[in-house]
Structure 1
């Protein structure tokens, strides 16, 4: 089956790459780029068909994200994160979904899942306060889904929840000025004692148990997948795409370069360069193949209506973080051998190195934590983590 969205996106990639420096300078994705991605259907790939979405195979979504990230890391990052949120909104009660997409199926949603907000229960819903960081692409979104802890009267944590708020209920603070993914516009969001109705609150425990209320109306296999597979893979896909794009540019840039030291000669004739290219390409391929295998197995299990094995859920997280690790090793090797010219600010290889490493520090890419979870599960020990 052909990936129609990928075909549409491929026509946009030259323009996205051309606007990459402008995204860095503005510290946000250009409106023109976002409009093109909306028009290509990128943000509807994981959206329920009930609300005009494609509700497709998640492998196609990650393929599209990698392609975009190869042209511009920041744009690919936002495509992955914001593009994953329709899946998340589909987990909420239908009343919340109708509020988001009822009037405009192209409505975009931002997020910051860290449970830094304070939630208290009141009649008809909750009150929410807090400040969240790293909300990628939030300037382009009309809603946000934000993590918080439900506390009792004494302030003791009772539950971990994710709350869905319209743009009028929060403030964006322009603070994003990072060394990598500079164009992602990952600014802060502030909520000051705002009321959130019951239907716009989602218990993370229910989602982890694959019992989110949205599944009552979104019965397709896509929404039977665990958050711990769907979202972390959307964090790793752009990192892999960034590095794959860097590899292509490396070949194009270095093919005709002549060394000015070390005996001179064409770089392309250097056997050490041959080894670097081969190892980097192998790491990129391994990252793609391993993540695709895990996603395919989880998705096909859902398609068959089977209970998704916990072994596969932990394996998906293992493969996701090690894919990031392999991608970063590949871009390090390319950057290390690209020569002094790659140090210049704005050089595509330099930008890819910064962007890939910025994506690598996301909590979903915490290699040691995810591998520890996998190891504990393999030994039959309890694992207290919902990101699986």
Structure 2
């Protein structure tokens, strides 16, 4: 078990941290020893250990983004990052699974029958209610219209949480029966309709069960379990204010940015966990070739630790500022402007990569003792690298998006750029003809 550094703050507690968020965060903190002990078991299973899932279910973390009216908590951005950051200190895969469990929110945009089906077992189902697999990826499945619904087949990668989720959401393309155009939709599948492929053999985040799911022979998806991609933005935006809780006061861009802050908070938590382990181990371990009683007495070790804490404090300041602003605007009924999103996201992605560099440095400073699979530092190294390679968090593409904006170029026709047209301009090649109007920037 690793030593936990004192958690002392020099700043007032955020007014946007709710009692429920505080309770969850503290419950995760109290459960930390057992969660840490089972982290390796989760890696070997390729999914969170059953006891870990049970503990997290009891705490309620899989219901963070579910409406209060349906048995959830509808927590805001600050609450979510506090919980995820605490999980990151223990097990990155657990934190990742909690973040992606927010996929259940998409079910609210469909017919009320879907809502009744998906949330029927909310009190008893242990794990995420819904996972999403390549809904918006370049390659999705295939569908065709039939009476009463759709016949769907395909293979969908990166279904995080699929081994412990109740439902799956997948993307598919189809020929519009009226126009013949190729369009996209998202459909909900029940577990008996797909098989899980044993392809999540990876260097890190192994317990997220981010396997592919596959449908070889067409399965029927009723019309009410399908939503067309072009309809999703408006449907999701219509959820704002429909349910109780700060989580349903966020604008569409606020919700998107809140998700990115959660992943940045996960990287921050992993960095804190790695530093905890580093401090404990350095105090016990003698250096290989220097006459110090332990590595903690070495100036070079102290420098590494000092720099690590500075990065942690900086990342925390950036993340906490953003989540509080997200919640502040939500409560005030204020929107984020589209041109604000790239800069905010870039700041957060930058913090993820700074955390990666710190965790790498901690391992290198401590040496070969960290490479054993029982040592949590090596798991933090592997997990943060997988987090940072996610398409949404690769720093150079995100920097290019921001650089184009700085120099006044139009955004490229990619998903991130499409979400953030510069003022008065439209991105080229808008998807499916769903063209937004010009977005003027105030003087």
TM over 0.5: yes
Aligned counterpart, 1:190: 214
CA shift in 2, pair 1:158/1:282, >3 Å:
farther
2:401 to 352, 367, 373: 373
CA shift in 2, pair 1:207/1:277, >3 Å:
farther
Q: Which moved more, 1:177-186 or 1:201-210?
A: 201-210
Higher helix content, 1 or 2:
1
2:172 to 144, 148, 152: 148
Aligned counterpart, 1:286: 314
Query: In structure 2, the residue corresponding to 1:255 is in which secondary structure?
Result: helix
Q: Which moved more, 1:159-168 or 1:41-50?
A: 159-168
Deviation at 1:42, TM superposition (A): 0.4
Deviation at 1:117, TM superposition (A): 1.8
Deviation at 1:131, TM superposition (A): 0.8
CA shift in 2, pair 1:349/1:38, >3 Å:
same
Q: Which moved more, 1:210-219 or 1:27-36?
A: 210-219
Aligned counterpart, 2:108: 90
Aligned counterpart, 1:201: 226
Aligned counterpart, 1:112: 133
**1:96-147, Cα deviation, whole Å (9 max, x unpaired):** 2222003435542112134322233444433322111222221111101223
Aligned counterpart, 2:359: 331
Q: Which moved more, 1:164-173 or 1:353-362?
A: 164-173
**1:225-283, Cα deviation, whole Å (9 max, x unpaired):** 43532433343332322222111111111123221304444311222212211221222
CA shift in 2, pair 1:75/1:216, >3 Å:
closer
Given that 1:62 and 1:80 are in contact with CA atoms closer than 8 Å, whether structure 2 keeps it comes out as no
Matches within 5 A, 1:351-370: 351-370=379-398
1:316 to 344, 352, 373: 344
Rg larger in structure: 2
**1:33-91, Cα deviation, whole Å (9 max, x unpaired):** 10110110101111111201111112211221121121122222222222x22333334
Q: Which structure 1 residue ranges, 5 or more long, are not aligned?
A: none
**1:328-354, Cα deviation, whole Å (9 max, x unpaired):** 011011111011211223211111111
1:51 to 57, 70, 82: 70
Aligned counterpart, 2:79: 60
CA shift in 2, pair 1:323/1:159, >3 Å:
farther
Aligned counterpart, 1:266: 294
Given that 1:65 and 1:237 are in contact with CA atoms closer than 8 Å, whether structure 2 keeps it comes out as yes
Deviation at 1:193, TM superposition (A): 2.2
Alpha-carbon separation, structure 2, partners of 1:308 and 1:203 = 25
Query: In structure 2, the residue corresponding to 1:373 is in which secondary structure?
Result: helix
Pairwise CA RMSD: 2.7
1:100 corresponds to 2:118: yes
The normalised TM-score by structure 1 is 0.89
Alpha-carbon separation, structure 2, partners of 1:138 and 1:259 = 44
Higher strand content, 1 or 2:
1
Number of positions where the alignment pairs a residue of Structure 1 with one of Structure 2: 387
